[in-house]
Structures are given as structure tokens and as C-alpha cells.
Structure 1
């Protein structure tokens, strides 16, 4: 069925996926792995063949892949009817939490009235749903939560015994509260040692419901001795149940019946209009909510900004694409990118033509891909020579369908030191060449007219005045062509890591130090794909640390760049650089200690505690760091130290602040004569 969405509740996996922090096994091969959002409520707008349970206009809620949009397509068996008096926002709080709890606690654990249930993370959505289910089943409840505010909430909701989930002290307290007998059922979302401690709390015939995924994805071992007491371990994957043709519809309808009967009530929730979905993600990422965060699609709310889906250009395999400067460096990489996008006939223009140093290799690579690439010797500032190249292209029977102007010349010097001739030698290949190409293609049906500009057109460069002026000229030409109804795009490239001038001159480290971090050509062209498909006239592609670059380029301190260089950005960057300089001068032991202190400050901010409360040799899991808190900590560490840290390296047992510090020390290349101890496995 096709559902027109009215409300979508977010889950923790949504901000983690948006930040690229979910392991592949969490998002691949799952019916719900496509897009963001899966708790949806809305109106059926179309039904497929054989669907008899629903008709157009029915109000439904349930599981829907990529629900965070105007419409979602889902299986009819994955949704249930909404009670007539319930709002869409309330209905969106049910699917994941209550389907999870009803299946695991009510159906699989099959508790008896009077049994004792331990719920970890009781103030989360699933925890709150478990409390409702437990009350209906007549269970005695002990719950844990990570902050005093959330523990107070649970007491307000009637939970008699509420403990701290961020400390393993919950185990002796549970024994004390149960006179040493332990509990009958554990609903677990903690990881690491907390799992072993919770298993030990189970009475004979106890049931352990594992809702966390961290230890499962890491394939961590589980000690078997506790199972001698006839324990049951229940692992759970909602996709596997709901989309099972036999079990799924029964679970959904059974849960919906309890909702209709009032046995399950809507969860506490915070609502954000769809136009402010970013606020919803931030709220969830920082755990500043109780229950669910719901994105509402109310027609009376402010309009939702709509952007077209990202696309890629599709080039004409029968046409020819002319590339100036295409026989070497970034121009040659551009030619191969055009081949990736369907071009099968290329005219590569350079002053030396086939005699250019890289020409033979470029032509050979393209030929191996089935591309007919022809080298032409021509000066792009010579209009007669360019006209002859275009005439030769026409004679091939594959008409000119696009132009990419990559030609460039550099002669770095202060403007006062440049003669007119030196200035023109840099300016003309870009500016004059572009105008010649513009004039000679007038009246032709081109699907591509791409001009390679540079970020210097916006930032300036004291030693490259003619180069800066020429790039600004290209961008003005692109806008003029667009205004005249003709195709054109100017791309202001930042430094490229693997080809072109920066790579050839070994300037990557220098550029990074100035705040202009080189990107690979693969990254660059992936961004260019979307820009060209969107029909943008002028855009920039690069990776920059604007706070650092502002120290070199005064123009970045002007109001024009206020959004790129917010207040304090330069100070933060200086703080990072000062730390790195200090670390380089330290012994390994002192450097690791300094990094540990910096990490402790970041983690303390995530946990809202004082850094002095963090033992650097204690597992992160012992501090109650859940997946979302871990994601925020990883992002902060990545940004602060300027390095990539895969999430998998920060998960599992033995992961302490000291371990992370050693890992970062190694990644930063800060080696002393003493040698740093290697990070643990």
C-alpha cells in the first residue's frame, strides 16, 4: 500500500545513520534499510493488487521504509488501523516500541502475573512501552535510567524501584530489593559487562530479552554457565518478525487491538514540524527528550523546503565532448569522468596535442574503456585553431554536444611584479579561451558547457591576481549564458589530492595546513554530478577549515563569509593547532595523557558530568554510554583532532579513554623515541 504520511517518529538509528555511524550489517539487506524513518502514520492513498484489508482513505500506522517523506510504500501486513479518536502524532509513537515489546515480552517471554521484570533504559521509548505492557500483565517492575531527571520521570510514572543504568551498582541493589532472589525477566539495552551482570540476576527459568545490537554486531561471546539455571536468551530483529508473512500480520493486528482497547497508550513525545526536521534530529542525537521525537506533516504548519532528488548527468553516447587541457592532470581526470557518465567520443585539446607527456597514457586508458578519444594540438586562445578542431569533430559524424574548459596557466607573483605579458599569459587561456568556445558554439544544441574555476575566485590570492581574475571571469560568463537561456556551469574547485597541480607539486600538506584540505578526484566528481544534474550556474567543491584559512585570507573575515566562519571558529582551530604542537613536543606517555584529558572533556560534555568523574581506564560502557552518545562522542573527537575514526574501532570490550587516546596518538603520527603502546584489539 502507498501511505500519505502525516507523522513520523524517529528512532536512534536515524541520526546514527545520517552521520554514517551504523555498521553495514545494521542497514544492509533489511526491508527497513532504505532511507530514514520507519514509524509512520498517515492515510492510504493507493493499494496494490490483492490488498483487501485496506482501501484508499483509511487511517493507518505501522512500519514503513523511508517514512521521512511525503509518501511511503509498505506491505499491508506491516501496518494496522488507527483508532478513530487518535491523532496521527500519537499513532506514530507506537510501531517500533510496542511491536518490539509485545512480541518479546508478551508473546515470547510469556510472563506470569506477579513475576519481577528488570527494564534497563526504562525512560526510553521501548522502556516506557515495556512499563505499560508489564502493568497490563501484572508484573513487578524494577527499572534503570541514565540521568536523575529520567529516574524521577519513572518514579512519577509509578515505578517503585528506579536505579542508575550508568553504574554496575544496579546488580547488588536488585539483589537487595528482591531479597537475593533476583528477577524473572530482563529487558536489556545495555552492553558489555552489564549483560553478564544482568544474566546473573535471573532466577531459574528466567528470560533475557536482548534489544541492544552493539554486542550482536560485534559478535561478542556470551558465557554459558548461567544457562544451567534453564534460562532463555531472546535475541530480536523487528524486520524479521514484522515482514514474516505468517507472524508479522498477526503481531501487528494483535498489537493494534490492544491499542484500540486502551491497554497500550501513546508514549510521551516531542513534536517538530517537518520544516524543522533538523531540530528533531538534534534533539534525538543529544537525548534531550523523553519517549519519542515525532516529525509532523501538518498542512497548516510552515511549508517544508523541498529539494529535488540528487541525480547524475547522462551524456550522449553518439555526441562528442571537447575538453581543453584534457591531455593531462585534472583535465585528463575530467575526460575519464565524462566517460563514466556515458561519453563515448572525446576531443582532447592541448597545445602539444598527442605529444603532451601524459597524452599516450590518457588515450590508452580511454581506449581500453571503449571510448574514442582524439588528441588535437591547438592553443585555446587562437580562435582559428579552435574553429578547425570543431570542424574536425563535425566531420566525424558525432556532433559536438558539450565543452569542458580545463585549460590553465600559472605564474605566481605579486601583482606589482607582473608585466602585462605575464598577466595575459595566465589570464588568456582561461578567460579568452572560454569566450572563444562560447562564440564558436553559439547556436549549437549543447547539453554541457562546463568551466573549471577555482575557490580563489571567491577567497582571493595575493600571488595569483591574473588567475583569480580569470576564474571570476569564467563564473561571470556561466551566469551570463544562463541568463541568455544557454547551458553553462562553472565549478570553483578546491585543491585536488591525486592529480593536477597540487598533487604534481606535492602541496597537499601545505594546503591542509592553510585550511584547504585536498579532496580526491572521486569525491570531487561525485559532488559535480549532483551540481550538474541540478542545473546550477556556479558552485564550489572542496573541503575547508575556514577558521584556519581566515588567518591567511583577510577576505574570509568579511560579512560575506559569516555563515562559513562563525564566531569562535578560528579560536577553536587555534586551540586544536596549539594542542597538536604541544603533543609533538611531548614524550609518548605525556602526549597520550594530554589526549586522554581532551577526550574526557568531550565525553563529559556528552554525559553532562564533570570530567573529573571519568576514570580514563574504565570501559566507556560502564559510564552508560549508549549508541547515540557514542556517536556524538565519535563525531566530536573526529572534528577536534581532524582525523577519521571508524565507529567500529570505538566499540566492544576494553575500550577506555586511554585506549582511544593511544589510537588517536598513533593516527596523528606523534611518535617519540620511547614508542607508543599499540591500541588494543
Structure 2
């Protein structure tokens, strides 16, 4: 904090001995450092604080300050105090961590040729200053300084100058340890709560891991548990194949929230929904964020190469995520070679091409992540082609790992908020086939983060549907309701309970669904041929 204070006051504000300085909100650590520097230089310091407790704290820490020099920031009475104390001249330097709304008021406190030091994370534009304030700035020849700590490190000369000031300040007693509060490693949550409180920002929060020891430790003698967090490079480019799908859009939002600022959403179909347009509009409001859409087909080598080259125009590629999926369900005997190809294209075709091209053009991508499915590990009737595609990308990830490259395949179950199951007209049917309950998308993203941090190759995240006997299923759907849902019958009362299921339009895939449902919920194992001749009168007896 002394580093920032020296940069603001000395480098930018050109502070001189015996000047007058107004520090707005003198109750944060940067302001405490600034007060220490100003007092050492014999400056008259005026301060505002939020409470009487903070005023008492400043008087104890800086005995040379007069109580009348500290005002409340809640009202604007401090402006009259400064005018009176400076004989209507105003202060030479105004410094504070400010909101844009305060700028128009505080300019009135500055003297001619004064320096306004604006410390904020937000940029200040001319549109934020009203006309009267702008005229006042011109009339008084006020100099504005927008302080960003990142600017300090861009110049070696400035950085070295501040290092010299710090060393001189330490030797003269200007730079002293800031107030601190020490917590034990069992009080981490309390330390975090205090750090985030709006009551007191005058103390540095420290966690004591162990007692000091005179001996040099070769390795830590103890550790504390901590939950790591994944962040992404703001200068890196992140490609999301299937990026305009439900999972892809949520993943993009996650990457952006964790620091990514260059995203390429790859989709062969392009924009096709209002929600997609909404997401792009929302992201367009984020400063320094670039989101591009690519329609290149990564399932062939030419398209994958175009996608990578297009992404490289934005910067260095740091991550490749494949969330694309195509479902063409059907029992194996009814599948065709074309169906298999179409199901495999967004999976292994795309991943294989991106693997090959990335090895040639950007071999050291930090993240190569493919969204797989539990159908790869557990199987699911009617989804042989889909399971094969997911299994293939998992083998590709294993190969990349052997080559020393990053790779992660995540087997997800059904997701209730976005994706194919959420978009299905018969959501319950899709879930019953898999034997799982839907998983919230935010927990899927949380699992993705933890799997990346654990450095895994193949991982799985799904929620198993609660199992139980017919007696324990009294609060759930009956066997008749489950079977009618699979058949697509909306009104159960309109059915003839004596008709066989085959007479009601049962096909082989539906029969397989019913077989799995009866086995899972009622522990009844019945053949496909027997299911075809079943009636609803007979099915109703399964719950007895």
C-alpha cells in the first residue's frame, strides 16, 4: 500500500513540503500509508471517515492530527470546513478511493493548479463530469490523475524510483508496518468474513500457520486444507466447440467469470435462438472482452485448421473445449453406417482433428477438455453410436496424456437445465432410461473445475436416481404411469387396459426402455417379447 501511496502522491501529485492534502475516506490501508507520508513532509492533512470509531483509531495512530481535521464522510459539511481552514483557497492535493458521483463535489475543494488523484478500478470519462465541474477544472487548471497500480510496473524508471522512496521511508520511519490482525488457521472463515466486512478496512488480515522457528525448514512441517480455484489467462484464447449449445454458453460464461477475455464459440449452425443473442449482448457490455463465432466444421481437417488459424488471430490458444453432441438413437439392429458417422462427427472426428492441428500449431495448450457421457462407461440401450463416440474421445485423451499433453474427458449424466435432455419433449423418459436424476448445470461446471484442478484424465459426474421397492415407491409414479409415459400416452384414462402394448404402437426401443424401468423400480426381469404382449391390467399388478 505504501507503494501505491508513493506513486500517487510523489510521482503523480508532485507533493511538496508544507502543502495541504485532503484524503477522502482515510480508513483504508492505502490512505493510512498516504497520511504517514504527508505528515512526515509537514503537510496539513484533512481527512473524512465513516464513523466515530475510525476517527478515534486515526487519532490514536497519528497523534499529530487535530480532531477538527477529521470530518464525517456521511454529510458534505467537510467541504465548508476545508474552505474555512484554507481561507477559501482549497487544498493542493485531493486523494481518495472514490465513486464517479463524488468527483463533481470534491473538485470544489481543490485550489488553483491542484492535483486530483482518483484511485478507482473504473475508468473516468468526460461523460461522468457535469458541465459546471468541467468549467471549474478549466478555470482552476486542475490536473487529474487516474491511478492504476498496473501502470506502475510498465516503467522500470518509475519502479526503481519508488523502491528508492520506500528504502528512504523505511530508514526515516515513514514506512512502518500497517495495523494487522492475526488469526489462527482454525479461524480462516472468521478472517475472511472480517476482510469482507464494510466496517473496518484499516487492518491487514494475516493467518498464522505455525510458530516461528529459528531452524530452516526443508519442507513445510504442516499444511492447512484449502479449496483451490481455477482461473484463466486474460491474454489467452479459449475455443469452445459446440459453443452456442446450452452447455457451451454456460461454459463460456464460467470462463469469462474466471478471467478469460478471448472466447471463440464454434458452431456449424450459427445463431438460432433468442437466448444465444442475449448472451452475446450481455458479454458485449464487459470491458476488454472479445467473443467471436466461428462456423467452421471441425469434424474435418480443413475446418479444424481454419478454426485454429482464426482463433490465433486473437492471440495464443490456451484451451480447447468440446461440448458438441448429436444424438441419433435406435437399437443396434436398426442403426446404419450413416447414423454412426453423424453421431461420431462432433465427438471423435472433431476431437481427433483438433488434437492433430493443435499439436502442430499450439502443442502446449493448457486445457484440452472433452465433454463425454456416462453412456461410454455404463452403456444405454439405443445409444451404441453415441457411447462409441464418447469412448473414442476418452481413448484419445489417454493417448494425449501418454504424450505429456493435457487432456480431460468428463462423463456427465443427464443435465436438467440445458442440453439434449432439457430440450427433450419427454424429459422423464430420457432420465429413466439412464437410471439417473437430472444434475444442475452449475454443479456440472463446479465438477469440471475440480476435475481440471485434480489433473485427471477421465472423470464422471452424475446423480443416481434413488432406488427402492414398490412399497417404498408409493410417493412416485406408478408402473402404469411410467409405461404410458414411455409410450407417449398423455391421458391414461383414455386407454383400453386390455389392449397389448404392441397394439398401442410399441417399438423395439420403447420395449427396451420399459424393460429397464421395470427391472430398476420393481425388480421384475421380463423379456422383450413378453413386454410386447403385456396389457396395462397386467402392469398395474406389478405395484402390488
Q: TM-score, normalised by structure 2?
A: 0.46
| Larger-gyration structure (1/2) | 2
